[in-house]
Amino acid sequence: MILDALLGEPRWLWSRVPHPIVVMGRLIGWCDRAFNRGGRRVNGVFVMAALGLGALGLGWIIVALPLGWLWQILIAAVLLAQKSLVQHVAAVGDGLRRSLDDGKQEVAMIVGRDTGPLDEAAVARAAIESAAENMSDGVVAPAFWFLVAGLPGLLLYKITNTADSMIGHRTPRHEAFGWAAARFDDVLNYIPARLTALLIALTRGPAVLRCAYRDGPKHRSVNAGWPEAAMAAALGLSLSGPRAYGGEMTTDAALNPEGTRAATPGDIAAAVGVLWRVWGAMIAAVVCLWLVGG
């Protein structure tokens, strides 16, 4: 976690060799082209089973290599995303301070919704929602599974989460084939999503956890609503609500509806502060576990 926070994603390295997530994405894309035929759910189940077992096996092999402990640390640092998440979220606030169009351009890099009709407040809310969800998916969950099951657990989580982002969608092509990826991702994120809400509450007060418990289940995702609702309460904002995807509006419920919808670049900066406080709470928790177990 400290290496990731200090170094982030070194461009000089990933301009020369493919990032591990890029490699995973290419493998999943090949599986999609090769086995997504006939709209059969079982094909996706077998693909996810093979990918998961392959990730576990690769993790065990790396651990067994000479200096396996060092490889574990380096790969884990690469697969955490604290610094890059902070940079992408903060870039939206910087863009909005320049112009609405710049803000839209920056937020389009981290969200999947239609950005054309968004005003400044909607752009800011989108960035903050992404910050909360990706804190769970990109930092807390990978760190949790690395803590629980070492490098094999971390690789299993990342291949599953990457597969969900690529094929776990309710589209005609992926409704059946991506079902297993989406469901397995839900399982692996169940505890980390709620842990993220708890960590936000530890840094901002118990009312945050009450809001997450009340409003988190209202979200379309079984997991994403918990960190988003916690972030909304921590900042006094109302997040989520109806949004446009592919020209169609959703009917999502608002999280922390008593908060304001008028989010600003200042709120984005406050959300970045929450991200770092959660990171610090995670470091403190790991140190405490080490002291208790050591």
How confident is the model at residue 283, as a pLDDT? Answer: 96
> Residue 116 gets which letter from DSSP?
T
Q: In the chain, at which residue ranges do the beta strands (DSSP E only) sit?
A: 239-240, 244-245, 248-249, 254-255
CA distance to 89, 143, 148, 215, 229, per residue, from 225 (Å)? 18, 20, 24, 7, 6
Nearest CA to 205 among 284, 277, 280, 137? 277
**Which stretches of 139-264 are DSSP H helices?**
141-167, 179-204, 206-215, 225-235
pLDDT at 267 exceeding the cut of 90: yes
How confident is the model at residue 62, as a pLDDT? Answer: 97
How confident is the model at residue 246, as a pLDDT? Answer: 79
Give 226-240 pLDDT, tens digit per residue. Answer: 999 999 999 999 999
In this prediction, residues 44-65 reach a mean pLDDT of 97
pLDDT at 293 exceeding the cut of 90: no
How confident is the model at residue 38, as a pLDDT? Answer: 85
User: What 3-state class would DSSP assign to 17?
Assistant: coil
Query: Which one has a higher pLDDT value, 247 or 83?
Result: 83
In this prediction, residues 202-223 reach a mean pLDDT of 94
How confident is the model at residue 12, as a pLDDT? Answer: 86
Look-up: residue for tokens 């446009």?
Answer: 244
CA distance to 51, 102, 273, per residue, from 218 (Å)? 31, 32, 26
Q: What CA–CA distance (Å, rounded) separates 126 from 243?
A: 10
Look-up: residue for tokens 């760190």?
Answer: 143
Q: Which two tokens stand for residue 41?
A: 């759910």
Position 214 confidence tier, pLDDT thresholds 50, 70, 90? very high
Residue 113 one-letter amino acid: R
Position 79 confidence tier, pLDDT thresholds 50, 70, 90? very high
How confident is the model at residue 153, as a pLDDT? Answer: 98
Q: What is the dihedral of CA 90, 162, 246, 217, to 10 degrees?
A: -80
User: What 3-state class would DSSP assign to 239?
Assistant: strand
Q: What CA–CA distance (Å, rounded) separates 49 from 56?
A: 11
Query: Which one has a higher pLDDT value, 10 or 71?
Result: 71
pLDDT at 39 exceeding the cut of 90: no
In this prediction, residues 34-38 reach a mean pLDDT of 92
Give 124-174 pLDDT, tens digit per residue. Answer: 999 999 999 999 999 999 999 999 999 999 999 999 999 999 999 888 999
- Percentage of the chain with pLDDT > 90? 87
How confident is the model at residue 73, as a pLDDT? Answer: 95
Residue 173 one-letter amino acid: R
Nearest CA to 200 among 127, 132, 147? 132
The structure's pTM equals 0.94
How confident is the model at residue 294, as a pLDDT? Answer: 65
Distance of CA 194 to the CA centre of its chain: 13
- Percentage of the chain with pLDDT > 70? 100
Domain assignments of the chain as residue spans, ordered by start: 2-293
Beta bridge partners of 260: 237
Q: What CA–CA distance (Å, rounded) separates 127 from 27?
A: 29
In this prediction, residues 72-96 reach a mean pLDDT of 96
In this prediction, residues 205-216 reach a mean pLDDT of 96
Position 250 confidence tier, pLDDT thresholds 50, 70, 90? confident
Q: Using only C-alpha atoms, what is the Rg of the chain?
A: 19
Do residues 35 and 181 lie in contact, with contact meaning Cβ atoms separated by under 8 Å?
no
Is the torsion defined by CA of 277, 282, 287, 289 positive or negative? Answer: positive
